[in-house]
């Protein structure tokens, strides 16, 4: 646990210049949800996904994990589509 405290993902995420999907469970007791919401506001290319009853890691209920996976796949497809259209002018 102490090893993870040395790494601050919030600072690193703000340095990234790429699309980011920030996923957080509203019932997360490990990392406060408001920290991720604050990060989403500060990060230029981020999109926030809140899982209504999700906990840390989303392993408490299979439906939460499926919601994360489904939304992540959708986000990746969306980003790839935008990248293809914006870079070459065609899909």
**Mean pLDDT for all residues in the chain:** 84
Close Cβ partners of 72 (under 8 Å, ≥ 6 residues apart): 21, 23
String of DSSP letters for 28-72? -SSS-HHHHHHHHHH-TTEEEEEETT--TTS-S-HHHHHHHHHHH
> Which pLDDT score is estimated for 91?
46
Which helix (H) or strand (E) covers residue 75, if one does?
Answer: helix 62-88
Mean pLDDT of 47-61: 88
> Which pLDDT score is estimated for 35?
86
pLDDT at 9 over 80: no
> Which pLDDT score is estimated for 1?
47
Q: For the chain, what is the domain count?
A: 1
Range of the domain at 43: 2-88
DSSP helix/strand/coil, 17: coil
Percent of the chain whose predicted confidence (pLDDT) is above 70: 86
Close Cβ partners of 45 (under 8 Å, ≥ 6 residues apart): 16, 17, 18, 19, 20
Contact yes or no for 51/68 (Cβ under 8 A):
yes
18-52 tens-digit pLDDT = 999 999 999 998 888 888 899 899 988 889 999 99
């Amino acid at each position: 646990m102490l090893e993870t405290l040395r790494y601050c993902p919030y600072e690193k995420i703000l340095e990234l210049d790429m699309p980011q999907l920030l996923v957080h469970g509203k019932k997360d007791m490990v990392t406060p949800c408001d920290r991720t919401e604050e990060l989403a506001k500060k990060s230029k290319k981020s999109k926030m996904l809140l899982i209504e009853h999700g906990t840390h890691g989303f392993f408490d209920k299979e439906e939460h994990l499926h919601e994360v996976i489904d939304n992540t796949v959708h986000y990746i497809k969306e980003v790839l589509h935008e990248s293809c259209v914006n870079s070459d002018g065609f899909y």
